Chains A and B, each alone.
Chain A
Amino acid sequence: MDIGESHLIMAYAAVIGIHLVYVTYVVIKLRRSVKRLKQG
């Protein structure tokens, strides 16, 4: 595997990883917002 291929894979991993972390954060926020609205 040359440097181009390895960096292409790393870049894809970074894209998917950052999105997964952010989606998890948004889902947690959504669930909390539902609870908060019900309590309010």
Chain B
Amino acid sequence: MKLWRWLLLIVTLAVLVEGFRVALWVVPPDAAQGQAGRIIYYHVPTWAAMGLMFLTNLICSIVYLAARNRNHTLAMKADSLAVSSAEVGVIFCLIGLVTGSLWGRAVWGIWWTWDARLTTTLVLWLIYIAYLLLRRFAAGPQMRTLAAVMAIFGYVDVPIVYMANRWWRTQHPAPVFGGAPGSGMAPSMLPAIWWNLAGWMMWAIFLVSLRYLAEYRNQMAEQQAGLAALEGEVLALPGEAGR
């Protein structure tokens, strides 16, 4: 692992530990929800990290489609980053769903409800699971192009998830950040959000950088194997012609 990754890991872990300390022991408990309200300090940053990952996937998919016939190296890098960011995004989405469910059980008394925000988020998770399955099991040269197109259409659900509790007032609370006038958080609770937002974003970037490395190496190995097979065929041709 390169030096910058070690440095990123150390700084990220330090920020996460500080975020954990501030969220649990520094900021006061929520007046209405008590200790369960502290789930917000990693529930919201998790969604922010997921949004960043799916946006990265969208941008990389567009770059891949634009570069695939012109710049093979750029296309391969964009494709590797696209699949890596989708995978990390799916993990963050899963954590958001699980922590949201636990929070719902503590505050609403139910694990799940078919509320607009929850349902659109579950659909989002399933879309990106389908994207990863397509990449895992589809074969042939068109797989990456199909996956990139699917990623672009799949991203349409991200703004729907973001707007769901603004457009439809169902079970999920109204947005705390960027909501109606008067929405927001008490200033005494904000440090926990900022530390955790920074920590989880950095952790997502660190994870995606590691996953990208593995994916890019795999694609390089595939390319080398393909070239070797092609060279073998070319070398075998004169011999066959002479028989």
Given contact pairs A3-B106, A7-B105, A8-B38, A14 touches B98 in the complex (Cβ within 8 A): yes
Chain B interface size, as a band, is: 20 to 34
Chain A interface size, as a band, is: 20 to 34
Interface of chain B, helix or strand or loop or mixed?
helix
| Contact present for B211 and A26 (CB under 8 Å) | yes
| Contact present for A23 and B207 (CB under 8 Å) | yes
Given contact pairs A22-B207, A40-B221, A40-B224, A7 touches B36 in the complex (Cβ within 8 A): yes
Q: How far is the CB of A13 from chain B (nearest CB, A)?
A: 10
Give CA–CA (A22, B207) in the complex, Å.
9
**Chain B 210-239: CB-based contact to A (< 8 A → 1; otherwise 0):** 110111011011001100100000000000
**Chain A 12-40: CB-based contact to B (< 8 A → 1; otherwise 0):** 10110011001100110110111011011
Given contact pairs A11-B98, A36-B217, A4 touches B106 in the complex (Cβ within 8 A): yes
Can you name 17 A-B residue pairings with CB atoms under 8 Å?
A: A6-B106, A10-B102, A11-B42, A11-B43, A11-B98, A14-B98, A15-B42, A18-B91, A18-B98, A19-B95, A23-B207, A26-B207, A26-B210, A29-B211, A29-B214, A33-B214, A37-B224
Which 3 A-B pairs rank lowest in CB-CB distance, beginning with the nearest? A4-B36, A33-B217, A7-B106
